[in-house]
Structure 1
Amino acid sequence: MDVSLLVTLAVIHCVALVSPGPDFAIMVKIATSQPRNTAIATAAGISVAILAHTILSLTGVSLVIKSSHTLYLLVQLLGASYLAWMGFGALKAAVTFFSKPKTVLNGEGADSSGFATTSEHSIDMPMAGTVNVLTPKQGFMRGLYTNLLNPKALVFFITLFSALITPSVTPVTKFAAALMLFVLSLLWFGFLALMLSKAKVQQKLQRLTPIIDGVIGVIFMSVAVAIVSSLLLA
């Protein structure tokens, strides 16, 4: 087993994990507004998606997708569409809240993407409105799709493994690498889920929900626009 290679992969992956992006954004959003079990499920979904990217890259499937103009175009369009939909939902929630009177809020609950909007029951409450409570399964799928459908994640793992995983690397090392990246991802996002889903933390951040929605919306929309722009300029 190539320990030095595993250490290098671990360091690079940890830096990528803590960097702001769609995974971090969706984790913060769900952990601060949803039950703890849903937040943990979201962390698991992101981690499983990372494991899938790792396996696809190690087996060469991701490289085949990247090499095929049609397949890669479909992946990019699908990913950009999903991220844009999520970003639009978050921005809509933020705009809806700030455009409503703060004393009497009459909204529709939550939009189709599951982000907060104001509720008709939120009377005399200068707070962000209620949120649509997600089940653990929904949280898992939200985390899974956010990472799995992000073309930038696919490119990251292709680049990472193309540079570090040579033909001489043994299957044991490859297995260890896949398992290690999965565990590191689960530890990091699980940590965020546990810390941000604490009742005191959620209560403190409740008033910031519209701002969080706005920031997350900008992040998701920016990534989607960057993907589409790269397609148009290619």
Structure 2
Amino acid sequence: MDITLLASLAVIHIVALMSPGPDFAIVVKMATQQTRLTAVYCALGIAAAILVHTLLSLLGISVMIQQSPVAYIVVQLVGSGYLAWMGFGALTSAFKALKLKRQPATVMTSPVDNVAQMSSVKGFKIGLYTNLLNPKALIFFITLFTVLITPQVSFTTKTAAAILLFSLSFIWFGLLALVLSKPRIQQKLLAANTIIDLLVGIIFIAVAVTITSNIASNIMGQWLA
């Protein structure tokens, strides 16, 4: 087993996990607005998606998708569409909350009362789809494994790498979910729910627009070439 290689993977992956993005944003949203169990399951869903990306990269399937222009464009469009839809939902929730705040105090409701509570299964699915359908995650793992995981790497090291990346992902997002879902912290962040929804919506839509713009630029470049 190549410990040096695994250590390099771990460091790079930890840095990527801590970087702001759709995964981080959705866990913060879940942890501050849903139950602790739902937030933890969301973290588990993200980790499961990362495991899928890892396996697809190790098996060479991700590279095959990237090398097929049509398949790669379809994957990116589906992913950006999902992220845009999630972002639109977050923004809609934020605008509804802002509208309620403008109502007379006698009819105002708590922000928590305006957030539909999700089941743990739905939380898992949202976490899974958020990472799995993010084309940037696909590109990240293709690049990571192309550079570090060569054909000479042993099966044992590849297996350890898959387990390591899954474990690190669940530990990081799971801890984030546990900390932010503490009743005292949720209560403090209650007034910030609208801001959280706005930020989540902006992040998701920004990523979706970036992906779509890149697709359009690539297609235009091919036509003009």
Normalising by structure 2, report the TM-score.
Answer: 0.93
Matched residues in 2 for 1:11 and 1:126: separation? 42
TM-superposed CA distance for 1:97, in Å, is: 2.1
AA at the equivalent of 1:166: T
Matched residues in 1 for 2:81 and 2:103: separation? 35
User: What residue number does 2:83 align with?
Assistant: 83
- 1:168-189 CA-to-partner distances (Å, cap 9, x unmatched) read 1000000000000000001001
Alpha carbons of 1:186 and 1:84: their partners in 2 closer, same or farther (altered >3 Å)? Answer: same
Task: Identify, as 1 or 2, the structure richer in helix.
Answer: 2
User: What residue number does 1:142 align with?
Assistant: 126
User: What residue number does 1:34 align with?
Assistant: 34
Matched residues in 1 for 2:109 and 2:172: separation? 34
- 1:114-173 CA-to-partner distances (Å, cap 9, x unmatched) read xxxxxxxx9334746521100000000000000000000000000000001111100000
Q: 1:169 is matched with which residue: 136, 153, 159?
A: 153
Matched residues in 2 for 1:144 and 1:33: separation? 18
Find the residue that maps to 2:39 and give its secondary structure: helix
Is 2:191 aligned against 1:191? no
Q: Which has the higher contact order (CA 8 A, sep 6+)?
A: 2
TM-superposed CA distance for 1:95, in Å, is: 1.8
- 1:92-112 CA-to-partner distances (Å, cap 9, x unmatched) read 11122223443448xxxxxxx
Q: Give yes or no for contact 2:97–2:114 (8 Å, CA) kept in 1.
A: no
TM-superposed CA distance for 1:10, in Å, is: 0.1
User: What residue number does 1:159 align with?
Assistant: 143
Q: Give yes or no for contact 2:101–2:108 (8 Å, CA) kept in 1.
A: no
RMSD: 1.4
Q: Which runs of 5+ in 1 are unaligned?
A: 106-121
Alpha carbons of 1:176 and 1:126: their partners in 2 closer, same or farther (altered >3 Å)? Answer: closer
Matched residues in 2 for 1:160 and 1:208: separation? 36
Count of matched residue positions in the alignment of Structure 1 and Structure 2: 218
Alpha carbons of 1:208 and 1:8: their partners in 2 closer, same or farther (altered >3 Å)? Answer: same
Matched residues in 2 for 1:167 and 1:32: separation? 43
Matched residues in 1 for 2:171 and 2:110: separation? 36
